Amino acid sequence: MISAVYNRQVRAVVAQAAYLLFWAGLVLVCVLEARANLNAQHLTTGFDFLWKSTGWDVTFSLIEYKPSDPYWKVLLIGVMNTLFLGAIGLVLATVVGVVVGMARTSQNDIARLLGTIYVEIFRNIPLIVQVFFWYAVATRFPAPRQALSVEGLVYLTSRGLYVPGLNITGLSAFLGILALLAALGLIVFIAAAPRFRRYEPREKGRLQLAVLAVGLAVMAVIFVAGRLPELPFVGVPELKGLAFKGGIRITPELAALAFAIAIYGGAYIGEIVRGGFKAVGHGQVEAAEALGLTPLQVFTKVRFPLALRAMLPILTNQYVWLIKATTMGIAIGFTDFFMVVSISINQSGQTLELIGILMAGFLIINFGLAAILNTINRAIALKGDQLRT
């Protein structure tokens, strides 16, 4: 026993155990004190409220929902809406960011100037201001009877954007998009991961096409399985009375949020893309050109893979931030996770439980996203003293 007291490793273990016990005890005391205070005010605690009916409706849901449904279902709708908006926003912001980043590194002076102006304008205006601006624009379009039409297929109105689409359930649309995004992520992984270097370019290309085909096939199966039986598979919007019927309606709230996140996030991603391409040494590009590679081959085989390795760690942080930015939905009435939790607190009074669910939900979402991107980053990182995190 005495020898264990003088053992350095034993003392370190005891000190760490005491540290953990201190914080666990402090949390336990806080929980018990909070529960005692709530009981003194005759406020119920616990998660039994999750199985009670909400009594209120939501304006946007990917799955069927009624006011008589329980709280756990409306919270699930909030999570799905946040993921749906986040997926759309991240894809659009990435597309905008790549275009802006390429313009910022272009040899063309006008393209560089336009890219610089874009970044300086949209990066320096707060996101909440841009959300209000685009929502104001989206709600100022004409009424359905005076809708702006594009070839009789797409209609722009103050009630939203109506486009042709598949008559499928919201859940199948959500799962189908996830399947396609997973396939696209795997294609990028195959293109950049060192473990696929031993593949010949033609063989690697066939593998990527096979992954894309499987992703599209899975998405098609999910869409067909989620088809609404009473409607044709493809719906086209038609004006009937005072509103459009058929097709897909993109609400002004969803359109404004997705557009604002894409525009605002695209400015930051554009700078990340520019930094990634600037990190590629001129010597590596000149070596590729000296080998007789065409400009396209230099870009696809040298510049882009090396730039992607420099970009991905910073992109991970930016994507996590953009997911959290979906909480701006409460400002214009979009039923995202944050808004659903806020309404649930007002209706049920279960503040601590719902705040805990909100924090745990965003922790799981962002931790999962960061884990996926960090896995890709480790897979494509070069060995040795080069770009690794």
In this prediction, residue 388 carries a pLDDT of: 45
In this prediction, residue 153 carries a pLDDT of: 79
Q: What does the H/E/C string look like for 23-86?
A: HHHHHHHHHHHHHHHHHHCCCCCCCHHHHCECCCCCCCCCCCCCCCCEHHHHHHHHHHHHHHHH
358 compared with 233, residue with greater pLDDT: 358
Q: Report the CATH superfamily, name and number, of domain 71-161+250-380.
A: MetI-like (1.10.3720.10)
Spatial CB neighbours of 165, under 8 Å, sequence gap ≥ 6: 234, 235, 247, 248
Chain mean pLDDT for the chain: 84
Q: Which has the closest alpha carbon to 361: 340, 380, 337? A: 337
pLDDT tens-place string over residues 215-267: 899 988 988 888 887 777 887 888 777 777 777 888 889 989 999 999 999 99
pLDDT tens-place string over residues 298-349: 887 788 888 888 888 888 888 888 888 888 888 888 888 999 999 999 888 8
Cβ atoms of 302 and 285 within 8 Å: the answer is: yes
Using the predicted structure, report yes or no on whether residue 117 has a pLDDT greater than 90: yes
Using the predicted structure, report yes or no on whether residue 385 has a pLDDT greater than 60: no
Least confident residue range of 241-245, 283-287, 350-354: 241-245
Q: Residue 4's pLDDT band (boundaries 50, 70, 90)?
A: low
Question: What is the pTM (predicted TM-score) of this model?
Answer: 0.77
Angle between helices 71-104 and 170-192 (to 10 degrees): 40
Using the predicted structure, report yes or no on whether residue 386 has a pLDDT greater than 60: no
For residues 172, 178, 182 and 188, what is the CA-based torsion angle, rounded to 10 degrees?
130
In this prediction, residue 121 carries a pLDDT of: 92
pLDDT tens-place string over residues 6-36: 777 888 888 889 999 998 999 888 878 877 8
200 compared with 131, residue with greater pLDDT: 131
Using the predicted structure, report yes or no on whether residue 389 has a pLDDT greater than 50: no
pLDDT tens-place string over residues 35-87: 787 777 776 677 888 888 888 888 888 788 888 889 999 999 999 889 888 88
In this prediction, residue 190 carries a pLDDT of: 80
pLDDT tens-place string over residues 136-195: 998 888 888 888 888 777 888 888 888 888 888 877 887 888 888 888 878 877 876 777
Measure Cα distances from 55 to 59, 68, 212 in Å.
Answer: 14, 6, 43
Percent above pLDDT 90 for the chain:
23
Using the predicted structure, report yes or no on whether residue 387 has a pLDDT greater than 50: no
The domain spans of the chain are 71-161+250-380
364 by Cβ neighbours in 10 Å (0-12 / 13-18 / 19+) ranks as exposed
Report phi then psi at 250, rounded to 5: -95, 110
